[in-house]
A and B are shown apart, each in its own frame.
Chain A
Amino acid sequence: MIETVIVLLIVAAAAVIIGRKFYKTLSGKGGGCGCGCSCGKKPDAPSCCDGHTVKR
């Protein structure tokens, strides 16, 4: 029973995270830089596939 609850929680968390990611990438809103990664850059920031703003 406890195992089932743990599994359901993990699946729910994964679904929410992936759902948010899909929504943000496809709508062009929010944190994604547009390349599909989870970098949290603004949409107008350089894509991380092409390099990000880097601090030394």
Chain B
Amino acid sequence: MKEKLVVALAGNPNSGKTTIFNNLTGARQHVGNYPGVTVERKEGSLKYMGVEMQVVDLPGTYSLTAYSAEEVVARNFIIDDKPDVVVDIIDASNLERNLYLAVQLMELNVPLVFVFNMSDMAKARGLEFDLKKLRQFFGVPIVTAVGSKNQGMNEILDKVIDVAMESSPQKHGQVDYGKEVSGELDIIAGMIEKSGETRYDPRWAALKLLEDDKDIKSQFLSPELDAQLKKSSDRIESLTGEIPETAIAGARYGFISGACQEAVRSTIEVRHTLSDSIDTVVANRVLGIPIFLGLMYLVFQLTFTIGDPFMGWIEEFFGWLGGVVDGFWPEGSESLLRSLLVDGIIGGVGGVIVFLPNILLLFLAIAVLEDSGYMARVAFIMDKLMHKIGLHGKSFIPLLIGFGCSVPAIMATRTLENRRDRLITMLVAPMMSCGARLPIYALIIPAFFPQSLNAPMLWIIYVIGIVVAIISAKALGATILKGESVPFVMELPPYRMPTVKGVLTHMWERGWLYLKKAGTIILGISIVLWAMTTFPRPSEEVKAGFESQRQAVEASNMPAEEKDDFIIDIDNAESEQALQNSIAGRVGMFIEPALKPLGFDWKIGTALIGAFAAKEVFVAQMGIVYSVGEADEESDTLRAKLEENYSPLIGFCIMLFCLLSAPCMATFAITRRESGSIKWAFFQLIGMTVIAYILTFIVFQAGTLLQIGVKL
């Protein structure tokens, strides 16, 4: 046996591969109760009974025919990397459908172990398996497991070692394709064998060619083989009345059905499972969308009401920390280091970390909805609407992932077979409000709107994102990306009770990512932005001018209280002038005329530029600008400062613009990578910014005209 075994985990989407991968390797990969969570292979390692294993989690696939990118990833890994053992994770509660992939793996002649996962659910549905018979039919060892409860993991590893140690190859069960198909298969396999092809098993390659697998076809370009293929296809069609692809699939299902009839017994008649009962309400044609919108509202209500006290504590902590650091220097000191630490780092990074509780709560709620299986229903209920815009419900899954982060959302578009659907979904995915934008809303909403309107405002912003994404997709589909969408049947996984560990892990992962981002990229950008708002320093002449004004006030006969007010005004004017003289100030003033029609001043302008690096930087930059630019420390929180300087209408316009404008740098990079062209990345960046500009312009001008939310 090899020193280190390579074990590949294959299986249908949503069969629980990633859960088992996490159990085996101790990793914490994202798991979701909807298909298409794993779009790339992931690796982890472990040591069991003295044997080192490298475990590879492959994307979920329904077959090994190259219909979509993840099927090619999974197939190529098994063929080219030749893992020592392939473990097929089978959802035992949906056995027949899952066995379709299992049969194709058997045809690849690779060492296999079948894991009947979710066996508790199968039992609850009244299914009983005769494992001994099934082992005989398939010629593959079978292990039962419950991934979500970490049951059966050692048994899987025992079997993997047994299979790896076997000296002779496994003898898998053979699908009987019938005389007509088998005869043609033999002829094509013979031709492949003669051509000297070694990458694929000839019979398997012949099957794929008859199944019209484009990827395999492109590798066997020869006029003789093409002619034979056409001849064989015509012959099969004339004899069976079916195209070869259908005849082959039919034979496989026949084999599976036969095995199941022999070895699977249903002990109780379960016509309506609990999932069905819930779906009659949740996935109802009329109630589905209102329920989804209502649940979203509840999530946002939870985010604000529970998050606010925790936020207040963190805010107080950073206020206290700023005071302590400030105390190291004498009062009124113009120390640069003090300003960097207090205004730049604590004002910038602290301003972002304040919103950690909101982030944690939002992702806690999303994790519950994902893990329970509800998110898959959302895709289902949106299916009809998506069809109207020329896409299908499957495209909505990447959009839902976009609530977390646009980067995995764009990667999740790999599950879409059609390039047109994929590009449209990829281009509109960043319009879904991601977690990085939440701090902006959490800063703005309570600053301008009463507490009773906090959740509704957040809800409106998220709904605007969804609506604009759908309209943009329709526009793209009708203009530059015309075409038909590929038909697809939505899969509805059964509802599952989310595990506390799973939900908390998701929440913590997101929270940790947020903290890491705050401590690395946002810290670095905050320092740079602080320098841009501080340099160049005002000249000695300007300083002397303000100083003489102060002296004049001090020497005057006015009452002490009035004097103090004057001095504060002079201090503020000095800070404001210094800020306008800085690099950030000059850049902001330069772009201000373009932003004025949206109601934005140059300070917001500089923060919007910074937000391209990461959306949270908007909050950090506003924190820095208002720390550096105001000598008056009485209005302590950033929210209070914003409330003093802007109207609720401008607050709403900031949120709208941040929601729809240029995606962050990481999204730009991933769009470029996944679309295969920088052209589409620029198209997305410019297109989104133009849409954001036009909509914000309309809202601001209409609001001003109608005098809505214009009072400071």
A binds B: yes
Using a CB–CB distance below 8 Å, which chain A residues touch chain B?
3-4, 6-7, 10-11, 14-15, 17-18, 21-22, 25-26, 28, 32, 34-38, 43, 46-47, 49-56
Interface segment, one of B27-35, B143-151, B438-446: B27-35
> Are B337 and A6 interface neighbours, CB within 8 A?
yes
Q: Report if B625 contacts A (CB, 8 A).
A: no
The tally of residues in B whose CB lies under 8 Å from a CB in A reads 45
> Are B408 and A25 interface neighbours, CB within 8 A?
no
A15, A28, A47: which contacts B411 (Cβ < 8 A)? Answer: A47
Give the residues in chain B near A54, CB-CB below 8 Å. 25-29, 42-44
CA distance A7 to B521 in the complex (A): 18
Q: Report if B548 contacts A (CB, 8 A).
A: no
Give the residues in chain B near A50, CB-CB below 8 Å. 30, 39-40, 407-408, 411
Q: Report if B708 contacts A (CB, 8 A).
A: no
> Are B46 and A36 interface neighbours, CB within 8 A?
no
Supplied contacts A17-B524, A37-B666, A51-B27, 12 more A-B pairs, CB within 8 Å: A7-B337, A10-B340, A11-B531, A34-B666, A35-B407, A36-B669, A38-B521, A52-B42, A53-B44, A54-B42, A54-B44, A56-B27
Give the residues in chain A near B335, CB-CB below 8 Å. 3
CB distance from A45 to the nearest CB of B (A): 9
CA distance A17 to B613 in the complex (A): 13
Give the residues in chain B near A3, CB-CB below 8 Å. 335-337
Q: Report if B368 contacts A (CB, 8 A).
A: no
Interface segment, one of B116-124, B125-133, B512-520, B561-569: B512-520
CA distance A18 to B521 in the complex (A): 7
Give the residues in chain B near A21, CB-CB below 8 Å. 521, 524
Give the residues in chain A near B407, CB-CB below 8 Å. 34-36, 47, 49-50
CA distance A46 to B525 in the complex (A): 25
> Are A56 and B670 interface neighbours, CB within 8 A?
no
Closest Cβ neighbor of B517 among chain A residues = A37
CB distance from B686 to the nearest CB of A (A): 15
Q: Report if B278 contacts A (CB, 8 A).
A: no
Closest Cβ neighbor of B509 among chain A residues = A51
CA distance A32 to B40 in the complex (A): 17
Give the residues in chain A near B39, CB-CB below 8 Å. 50
Give the residues in chain B near A46, CB-CB below 8 Å. 40-42
> Are B44 and A36 interface neighbours, CB within 8 A?
no
Q: Report if B113 contacts A (CB, 8 A).
A: no
Given A50-B407, A50-B408, A51-B29, residue A26 in contact with residue B520 (CB < 8 A): no
Give the residues in chain A near B657, CB-CB below 8 Å. none
CA distance A49 to B673 in the complex (A): 15
CA distance A43 to B44 in the complex (A): 19
A11, A18, A25, A56: which contacts B669 (Cβ < 8 A)? Answer: A25
Q: Report if B467 contacts A (CB, 8 A).
A: no
> Are A34 and B669 interface neighbours, CB within 8 A?
yes
> Are B44 and A35 interface neighbours, CB within 8 A?
no
Give the residues in chain B near A25, CB-CB below 8 Å. 665-666, 669
- Which of B336, B530, B666, B669 gathers most chain A CB within 10 Å? B669
CA distance A55 to B47 in the complex (A): 11
CB distance from B451 to the nearest CB of A (A): 33
> Are A36 and B614 interface neighbours, CB within 8 A?
yes
Give the residues in chain A near B530, CB-CB below 8 Å. 11
A–B complex contacts, Cβ < 8 Å, 14 sampled: A3-B335, A7-B336, A15-B528, A34-B669, A36-B669, A37-B520, A37-B666, A49-B405, A51-B29, A53-B42, A54-B25, A55-B45, A56-B27, A56-B45
